[in-house]
Chain A
């Protein structure tokens, strides 16, 4: 049978929240791939195989490969082949949702949730860490001086959004 399949982005109904000093934005549900290497030392080998894609460290021997465009099954298979035998891929494109937080107050908002020191010296642009934002686990990446991305389990995405909106409220 053929019919129209609809994709339901979990934060699809959320308009960007633009406050004076901070902006909260749901990012497109493109692709999030969890890369699992046999050994933590596999990092450099990975780079050669994937070029300049957005690769973020997740844990020793694990990375998130992130992009705004959805991947076709063929894309995924191709990538899997390229990464062999350095790393396996587990597709998390639907299991993880990204939220962008930016503006001069972004750090102050995040400090209400995470114990990670977000000082530029300790957590420079390009840095990433898995942590708790309040009660919710999330992968936090610094994408610019004043901009961050949070990658969260799909099931918690709405709760995290609501929490962030409350944490940001004073910067309206």
Chain B
């Protein structure tokens, strides 16, 4: 055992012990521990195996950038793979499992990959797996899957709930360290609406790991007092456990709050994660800086850790990372750790400082041996660090120890500032990439390259004032509290390559990319940063290169003999850290996946035993099975026959309904329909065809004139929303000078079709007015009084089925009651409920078209509507393109009917029509079957088809060919109207 818990200190609550398990082994920690700190406290430094070589790995950081300590947390549907142990709060009963090892973490067969490493170098995948293609699927991919990879997702569904939320603020502060707290306090005190987010469980950032004092109190206490003040302000919202993961258009930030990821059993009704979309007037990035690893041999052996992380474990959670430590640093920050280690009584063998001049005089007052101008060349050990080799002025020296803390300087965390395509800028002075302030956004503190608590505090307050000033909100920065005991570490020259390395020196820990891989990429011509990334996979793991990218760029720059500025960075994109699919989906799953749109006659349909079918968001009644009927066809055939012989009632409420008023309403309709409407008399309905500007048909429907300046339009169900958008476009963007007003009334009216020879007899019983053929002829449309004046409705004498038919519209709340009454009245006369399946058969028999035929490639003449197109009107949508040669040619696809020669044979929608005797090829296709059904009236399958020059081919024998199923049905083209071509039935 090497790492251990100190007997005192830290922010943990020793009065609240927590038990947890790791790979089945029971362990214990305290409230305030992260999973990583608790594991270290239990002496568990081996936390995982690496991706490619299965090398033993321990925790490297104490935060979001952690590449090694990824674990699977939880059980069953709550299993969460790839959880960073550094960010996972410990809770009682937590179960954690290591990943990427088999059969066990301690003994892993995949570690043999390490011996095969000469074959697993950069570009390996490209070189080896390129050919033959079949090998990829059968051999390579399964092999890689087994050998490499991360945790496995659970197969069970997640029992927890997730949600999304919007928030608005004047100032969004991201990061609650010294900089962020100063900014939030400044803005909050000024009365601005502030949101402060931080990914840790407690606000304070690095202050929680700090031994300095601020304003005379320990830094952590200062952070807690500041947090308390902020939480008491009504205009401030603080969000701990919240990672801002992306910056989007309009200064909207995405953030994910882990609401209940730190409890064993989440409270029902509350989400476990909440996805915030924060609309920020201004945003301040106080995201701090990431400490940079150093690239020496064996730099991944458990026991090697970032210096700042070691300091955090030590001060915040009272955990010593090892018993015998050394520090390898390029800057003064390593000395803060040295001081704290000694204060905690942890043995410190040496400080290896790469700088010839070492630290500033007087900075370090401890006992450790200091080696300046020295480098750690190699670390040694298997599952635990045992020694390091130091190179100094041409000589090497080996030190036996079990812990090495590393600091290679700092890379400001600038991701969010670069998410909208902005490029970071290399600063020679800072030895780091920086981002510039831009519209809506500024960076402050360590995120802007600063070091030192006082400087960060001052900058946070100052930048908050400046940002608020842009919004016209006055704020004052106030004075900076006195900071004592802080070690400021000015930027130093970065250290990229260390000479004489023997072992593998890792750059990208998570993807197992080491220095030799990068060198190979350069040798093979992939030195461009974007190419090197893909060739080596550096920076492509789930940590997105947080620790590795800058080192890779530095090493590429060195290899090419240029500045990192010239190498540049790869592109920053959201997400900053992985976001669960649950959070992205929010509540949109199960019952809440999408809304259901319910017809006002839904209850009526249910009572009558309807089977429903989803049509967009609508649930439409498809057919109404009766006792004894065993197939849907039996029910549909019966419904069709009943409509043709007696009467049926069908719910057509989901047709789009639009009320059009205004003194120019008639003129407007004349312009949006290709046929005339201005002359439509009050009290009449007319079938209309709406074209697109390119001349093709957009939608069809009937429009009725209820008064001089009031029309009622119906659209197809599918295009209801689109047609209204289109009409509004015409009214607002094309002809705003017309007085035309549009309102969707789809939901206002329950609409039912009553069709069949007995329709009038049945309807007359509830309609107060005379609806005889004389009083209310075909295409009549009028307001009616129902049930002796009890209700007002609208009646339209229109027919989709080809029978005597009406559509009755009543206020939606009365729909069910009216339909019930009609069923009761009609029952003795044989009235039945019919659904969309029967509706479809009825309309195919009558040769009526739907969007199966109006498929975006047909003009009116193709459907036999050529004469409907007005020649008189000077203008209507589609007029000017409709005259094009290609749209008037005689060999266009035209609507025909099609029947099988053998009535017992059938065919399907989508089948091709071939000339008799022609080979079955797509070149020979004359068109296709657009709709088909079994017709009880004809006694066989019938179809509508769009066939080249079809209107002149009635009677021609063809082959109906379904290439997908290999079906060939000899058939005959015919008139598309299979029933009552004289329309006699409509006018009785």
Can you name the residue of chain A whose Cβ is closest to the Cβ of B252? A115
Q: Are B597 and A112 in contact (CB under 8 A)?
A: no
Residues of B within 8 Å of A114, CB to CB, are 166
Q: Are B741 and A135 in contact (CB under 8 A)?
A: no
Known pairs A5-B814, A10-B813; A112 contacts B821 (CB<8 A): no
Q: Are B743 and A36 in contact (CB under 8 A)?
A: yes
Can you name the residue of chain B whose Cβ is closest to the Cβ of A114? B166
Interface residues of B in 652-684 (CB under 8 A from A): 659, 661-662
Interface residues of B in 784-828 (CB under 8 A from A): 787-788, 790-792, 811-818, 821, 825
Which of B269, B595, B662 touches A88 (beta carbons < 8 Å)?
B662
Q: Are B813 and A1 in contact (CB under 8 A)?
A: no
Q: Are A2 and B787 in contact (CB under 8 A)?
A: yes
Can you name the residue of chain A whose Cβ is closest to the Cβ of B767? A1
Residues of B within 8 Å of A48, CB to CB, are none
Q: Are A8 and B745 in contact (CB under 8 A)?
A: no
Q: Are A158 and B747 in contact (CB under 8 A)?
A: no
Residues of A within 8 Å of B791, CB to CB, are 5
Known pairs A95-B812, A111-B165, A111-B166; A2 contacts B741 (CB<8 A): no
Judged by a CB distance under 8 angstroms, whether A27 is at the interface is no
Known pairs A1-B766, A162-B592; A155 contacts B814 (CB<8 A): no
Known pairs A1-B825, A153-B747; A8 contacts B595 (CB<8 A): no
Q: Are A93 and B811 in contact (CB under 8 A)?
A: yes
Q: Are B592 and A7 in contact (CB under 8 A)?
A: no
Measured CA separation A61–B739 after assembly (Å): 12
Residues of A within 8 Å of B267, CB to CB, are 170
Measured CA separation A154–B743 after assembly (Å): 15
Judged by a CB distance under 8 angstroms, whether B262 is at the interface is no
Judged by a CB distance under 8 angstroms, whether B3 is at the interface is no
A131, chain B: closest CB distance, angstroms: 11
Which of B161, B164, B193, B747 touches A94 (beta carbons < 8 Å)?
B747
Judged by a CB distance under 8 angstroms, whether A50 is at the interface is no
Measured CA separation A36–B744 after assembly (Å): 12
Judged by a CB distance under 8 angstroms, whether A29 is at the interface is yes
Q: Are B595 and A136 in contact (CB under 8 A)?
A: yes
Judged by a CB distance under 8 angstroms, whether B163 is at the interface is yes
A121, chain B: closest CB distance, angstroms: 9
Judged by a CB distance under 8 angstroms, whether B576 is at the interface is no
Judged by a CB distance under 8 angstroms, whether B900 is at the interface is no
Measured CA separation A114–B814 after assembly (Å): 32
Residues of B within 8 Å of A92, CB to CB, are 743, 745, 747-748
Can you name the residue of chain B whose Cβ is closest to the Cβ of A61? B741
Measured CA separation A7–B791 after assembly (Å): 11
Known pairs A91-B748, A167-B163; A7 contacts B587 (CB<8 A): no
Can you name the residue of chain A whose Cβ is closest to the Cβ of B269? A169
Residues of B within 8 Å of A9, CB to CB, are 813
Judged by a CB distance under 8 angstroms, whether A160 is at the interface is yes
Q: Hey, what's the 0/1 contact readout for A153-166 against B, CB within 8 Å counting as 1?
A: 11110111011001
Judged by a CB distance under 8 angstroms, whether A172 is at the interface is yes
Measured CA separation A119–B167 after assembly (Å): 10
Can you name the residue of chain B whose Cβ is closest to the Cβ of A133? B595
Judged by a CB distance under 8 angstroms, whether B603 is at the interface is yes
Judged by a CB distance under 8 angstroms, whether A117 is at the interface is yes
Q: Are B603 and A8 in contact (CB under 8 A)?
A: yes
Judged by a CB distance under 8 angstroms, whether B596 is at the interface is yes
Judged by a CB distance under 8 angstroms, whether B168 is at the interface is yes
**Chain B interface, DSSP helix/strand/loop, else mixed:** mixed
Interface residues of A in 102-131 (CB under 8 A from B): 111-112, 114-115, 117, 119, 122
Q: Are B596 and A159 in contact (CB under 8 A)?
A: yes
B249, chain A: closest CB distance, angstroms: 13
Judged by a CB distance under 8 angstroms, whether B222 is at the interface is no
Residues of B within 8 Å of A61, CB to CB, are 741
Judged by a CB distance under 8 angstroms, whether A73 is at the interface is yes
Residues of A within 8 Å of B161, CB to CB, are 166
Known pairs A2-B788, A135-B588, A158-B596; A94 contacts B813 (CB<8 A): yes
Q: Are B661 and A90 in contact (CB under 8 A)?
A: yes
Measured CA separation A73–B742 after assembly (Å): 21
Residues of B within 8 Å of A3, CB to CB, are 787, 821
Q: Hey, what's the 0/1 contact readout for A125-155 against B, CB within 8 Å counting as 1?
A: 0000000001110000000000000000111
Residues of A within 8 Å of B269, CB to CB, are 169-170, 172
Q: Hey, what's the 0/1 contact readout for A24-58 against B, CB within 8 Å counting as 1?
A: 00000100001011100000000000000000000
Can you name the residue of chain A whose Cβ is closest to the Cβ of B815? A8
Interface magnitude class on chain B = 35 or more
Q: Are A135 and B813 in contact (CB under 8 A)?
A: no
Residues of B within 8 Å of A98, CB to CB, are none
Can you name the residue of chain B whose Cβ is closest to the Cβ of A118? B168
A151, chain B: closest CB distance, angstroms: 11
Judged by a CB distance under 8 angstroms, whether B526 is at the interface is no
Residues of B within 8 Å of A163, CB to CB, are 587, 592, 595
Judged by a CB distance under 8 angstroms, whether B436 is at the interface is no
Measured CA separation A8–B525 after assembly (Å): 74
Q: Are A112 and B164 in contact (CB under 8 A)?
A: yes
Judged by a CB distance under 8 angstroms, whether B882 is at the interface is no
Q: Are A7 and B277 in contact (CB under 8 A)?
A: no
Measured CA separation A81–B690 after assembly (Å): 33
Q: Are B743 and A90 in contact (CB under 8 A)?
A: yes
Residues of B within 8 Å of A122, CB to CB, are 168
Q: Are A2 and B790 in contact (CB under 8 A)?
A: yes
B491, chain A: closest CB distance, angstroms: 41
B138, chain A: closest CB distance, angstroms: 43
Measured CA separation A169–B162 after assembly (Å): 12
Residues of B within 8 Å of A2, CB to CB, are 787-788, 790
Judged by a CB distance under 8 angstroms, whether B749 is at the interface is yes
Which of A6, A96, A135, A167 touches B747 (beta carbons < 8 Å)?
A96
Judged by a CB distance under 8 angstroms, whether B591 is at the interface is yes
Which of B165, B710, B818 touches A5 (beta carbons < 8 Å)?
B818
Can you name the residue of chain B whose Cβ is closest to the Cβ of A91? B748
Can you name the residue of chain A whose Cβ is closest to the Cβ of B163? A112
Residues of A within 8 Å of B277, CB to CB, are 115
Measured CA separation A153–B600 after assembly (Å): 11
Q: Are A94 and B766 in contact (CB under 8 A)?
A: no
Measured CA separation A94–B817 after assembly (Å): 14
Judged by a CB distance under 8 angstroms, whether B627 is at the interface is no
Residues of B within 8 Å of A8, CB to CB, are 600, 603, 813-817
Q: Are A95 and B745 in contact (CB under 8 A)?
A: yes
Residues of B within 8 Å of A36, CB to CB, are 661-662, 741-743
Interface residues of B in 697-748 (CB under 8 A from A): 710, 739, 741-743, 745-748
Residue from A8, A111, A156 having most chain B Cβ neighbours under 10 A:
A8
Judged by a CB distance under 8 angstroms, whether B271 is at the interface is yes
Measured CA separation A147–B75 after assembly (Å): 41
Q: Are B790 and A1 in contact (CB under 8 A)?
A: no
Measured CA separation A94–B599 after assembly (Å): 12
Residue from B165, B749, B791, B815 having most chain A Cβ neighbours under 10 A:
B165
Q: Are B662 and A38 in contact (CB under 8 A)?
A: yes
Interface residues of B in 141-178 (CB under 8 A from A): 161, 163-168
Which of A1, A29, A95, A115 touches B765 (beta carbons < 8 Å)?
A1
Supply 16 A–B pairs (Cβ within 8 Å), ascending by A: A1-B766, A2-B790, A5-B791, A36-B661, A38-B739, A38-B741, A61-B741, A88-B741, A90-B748, A92-B748, A135-B595, A154-B812, A158-B596, A163-B595, A166-B592, A172-B269
- Residue ranges of A at the interface with B (Cβ–Cβ < 8 Å): 1-3, 5-10, 29, 34, 36-38, 61, 73, 88, 90-96, 111-112, 114-115, 117, 119, 122, 134-136, 153-156, 158-160, 162-163, 166-167, 169-170, 172
Those 5 A-B pairs whose CB atoms lie nearest each other, nearest first? A95-B748, A169-B269, A159-B595, A95-B747, A36-B741
Q: Besides A10-B813, A34-B743, A155-B618, 15 other CB < 8 A contacts?
A: A5-B818, A6-B814, A8-B814, A36-B662, A90-B661, A93-B748, A93-B811, A95-B748, A115-B279, A134-B587, A135-B594, A159-B595, A163-B587, A169-B268, A170-B271
